[in-house]
Amino acid sequence: MTIDAQHQQATTPAPSAEWWAMTPDDAVANARSDAADGLTSDEVARRLAESGPNALVSAPPPSVWKIALAQILELMTLMLIAVTFISLLIGQVTTAIIVAVLVLFNVVTGTRQEVKARRSVDALAKLQIPKARVVRNRQLVQVEAPELVPGDIVELESGDLVPADGRILRSTNLETQESSLTGESLPIPKGPASNPADTALADRTSMVFQNTSVTRGTARVVIVETGMRTQMGRIASLLTQVGDKKSPLQIELDNLTKVLGIIAWTAVLVIVIIGWARGQSLDELLFLATAVAISAIPTGLPVFVQSLLAWGASRLAKEQAIVASLNDVETLGATSAICSDKTGTLTLNEMTVRTAWFAGNSYRVTGQGYSFDGKVLGADGEALDAATLGLAISLPNDATVTVDGDIVGDPTEAALVVLGAKLGVDADQARAEYRRLAEVPFDSDYKFMATLQRIPFQGEQRLVLFVKGAPDVVLGRCTTMIGADRGVVPVAADSATAELEGLSAKGLRTIAFAARFVEDADEGRVAADPMSYVADLVLIGIVGIVDPLRPEAKAAVEIAHNAGIEVRMITGDHAVTAGAIGAELGLGTGAVSGADLKAMSDEELSARLPDLHVFGRVTPDDKLRLVGLLQAQGSIVAMTGDAVNDAAAIKQANIGVAMGSGSEVTKQAAKLVLTDDNFATLVHAVELGRIVYSKITAYLRFQMTQLLSLIILFLAASAFSIAEGVALFPAQVLFINFFVALFAVFAIAADANPPGIMNHPPRDPKVGVVNPLALAEWIGYGVVIFFISLVPLVWGPDEPSPTTPTASMTMAYVVLSLATVLSALLMRRTPESGLLPPIAAVAKMLVWPVILTVLSTELGFLQKMLGTVSLTGWQWLQCIGLTLVLLVVVEGDKFFRRRRRNKRNAAAVPTITTVRTSA
């Protein structure tokens, strides 16, 4: 089609076209373009107006004020605001100020956590920055990537960032790095040859994709998709479809807040009705209502839970794990399924030669990654001395590796440079000394590379054509091989094939090396046509390459399994390679490819998930689907990844985990970033999450016990007309609930980690913090605190008054305050005793609230603020004696519960063993 004809064709191609299956000519025709002349300026303008700019669209971030308003409308906040206004109405200014500060703290903290809703899509949009060389009006010009339209003809070369999805028209030695999109860790050879229509994304070698990079060669492509219709655009669309989710603890605390709200205002209503029936005035009723509301509303709950979560977040940060939101700390502890990326997370992301097959014998290669330390050892432990093999590996190679392990070039070639060094050959020095006289560059069509050099061999200089490439291709061009005595023998195809099959079964990538000695008289002919001489080769050897596991990865997987957490590996690598690595990790049986995954319905896949632990060649949609199905089965899912193609699934997961070295998109979509890229760090983060949750449940046990005791105390005071229903002044309740309880939270946070926390299954999210056992503890312990606090009000030294400070009300306040301190000590663990060591750190922390309690009854300004009076020594002893009743009851209860638990465990041991064996 000519340029003039394009004026009649303004329609852009459909986004669903299977471009990779078309021939180059068909792709150009379907794109209504011209491979030689490109588009005209007028046609570009029309298409730009129709398809829009080649940019990723993101929704505007939510308004800060809107988020803050949502925080204010939370039930707990509304209740506290109501208490603030009522306190002002009745002249309780100190009470109003304290509650107002709590409200402001809660709103500001919650708003800061929420202002991150759309950052992941914004980061995707920022990736769109390259320029492109495009043919327009029969000329090659450079334009900004957003100005590209479908049908543009673009030139690419090594180092370029692909500006949009394109169909390759022609190429030379083209390779692209697509790990950010597909998860494939190695560069992908590309070419114009068509792929079948059902080819998976990672195997579409006739296509290049937006924001992937060209690592080798050149190409001319026709742009077929731009903007949100590119593969990157599809990921951006997936991200906008995945909403933010509340953590299990958030949901539970929301429900608990609603229940507490009902209890609190019901108590207020009952007490006010009783007071009204007694004929109390409106001011007295409002004062009473304020006192009861402050007692019944857990004013410190949001602050203290935030403090514990912040403590957990700081601990995680020290362990190289950064959380995006404090609530994510708790979610970690509920993790029951981990879907992990492979490259760089479970493995080192450093290609390493593990095995070499030479002269019919297998050799083991020691050392890791790109370090030159290591040897090539035979079965007898002797190091291999094979200079020819070292040169064959090092000369047909373009990579460079420094002594510090930094590489330039293809990772696989870098691994071969390291292998050459272990055989005594310095690749850089060898390439400089034995310069290439001719070369056949690597191409995906013929799958090998060849170089001609003059090297020393058996005391003379010989011309040798070294060949490196895919084993099946190289073997097909070999007629002889190096034998056991280092002489040349007929090629043992069966032996070589068996070696290849064994290496492939272990998940190793294989490369074969061969050579052909050339007569000096033929040098000119070889230089003119080196390809024709890649025949009648001598097979030198085969090597097996792998990205080795991180040393701690296998142990981390075992810890996760012991903790009842299912671990699955999801990768862009082939299922066979991934399956072998999964077996080495101990992940469990079952490896499946992305193509097989797509063929299964959701019902079929859900049924097979317990037996599937490795997923290879998967797409972003596959990852998102897997996470969704696991969540539908009730799992709390952690999903790890470092590439753009992981972002949607990471955002969907309950805990999205990004690698510190990964893309900015992935990190901003994630809730946890591992700065050391280590799977073991994730498992340790789960352990810390469990520890934090155990401390939160300890705090809730402590907090709810105090709250219920206060509600019952005020109900009893109203029912029996004690101090006209005002059991304690509002300021006294606030002082205990905030200042005294603050040190209780610090003590719970400072307590030693629960033993064996990773030796039991994850907690069931359906069994929340409010459960029958917890309720029994809260009510039982709360009743005990109520009784010991009631004693001074009923049998105290004087008559308690709602307006005048008295010794009886002060004693009730002191008993309640000391009981708060003792509760923190005793209830930090259950059913384990709270009196057993380690206890020093907790005891040191709890000295301070005791001192505060004493000062609040002795210092004049605190007496005036709180409504307390000084107590005699005998009155202090009475308060301490009443408080010790709580110790006897709580520790006695836990003692009998431990006995019952031990009996149950002893009886259940045979049953548990049988179940695990059968499983």
Active site amino acids? 341
> Do 79 and 293 form a contact (C-beta atoms < 8 A)?
yes
> Do 151 and 421 form a contact (C-beta atoms < 8 A)?
no
3-state helix, strand, coil in the chain (%, to 5): 50, 15, 30
> Do 624 and 648 form a contact (C-beta atoms < 8 A)?
yes
The angle that helices 679-719 and 553-562 make with each other, rounded to 10 degrees, is: 30
- What are residue 776's phi and psi, to 5 degrees? -60, -40
Among 44, 32, 15, CA closest to 137: 44
- Cα–Cα separations (whole angstroms), residue 148 to 31, 222, 333: 13, 11, 47
> Do 898 and 830 form a contact (C-beta atoms < 8 A)?
no
Among 72, 96, 101, CA closest to 84: 96
> Do 6 and 40 form a contact (C-beta atoms < 8 A)?
yes
The set of residues, in sequence order, having a beta carbon less than 8 Å from that of 637 and lying 6+ positions away, is: 335, 336, 337, 338, 339, 627, 630, 631, 653, 654, 655
Query: What are 490's strand-pairing partners?
Result: 480
- What are residue 467's phi and psi, to 5 degrees? -125, 135
What tokens appear for 739 in the block?
Answer: 């200042």
Rounded CA gap, 834 and 744, in Å?
13
CB atoms within 10 A of CB 815: 25
Rounded CA gap, 778 and 702, in Å?
8
> Do 384 and 361 form a contact (C-beta atoms < 8 A)?
no
Rounded CA gap, 475 and 497, in Å?
9
- Cα–Cα separations (whole angstroms), residue 154 to 140, 164, 210, 218, 879: 9, 10, 12, 11, 85
Rounded CA gap, 292 and 277, in Å?
17
Query: Angle at the Cα of 169 (from 163 to 171), degrees rounded to 5?
Result: 85
Among 439, 634, 627, 469, CA closest to 537: 469
Rounded CA gap, 275 and 281, in Å?
9
Rounded CA gap, 511 and 513, in Å?
7
Rounded CA gap, 729 and 91, in Å?
13
Per-residue HEC secondary structure of 465-498 comes to EEEEECHHHHHHCEEEEECCCCCEEECCHHHHHH
Query: What are 136's strand-pairing partners?
Result: 39, 139
- What are residue 143's phi and psi, to 5 degrees? -130, 160
- Cα–Cα separations (whole angstroms), residue 664 to 145, 181, 233, 644, 755: 20, 13, 16, 8, 37
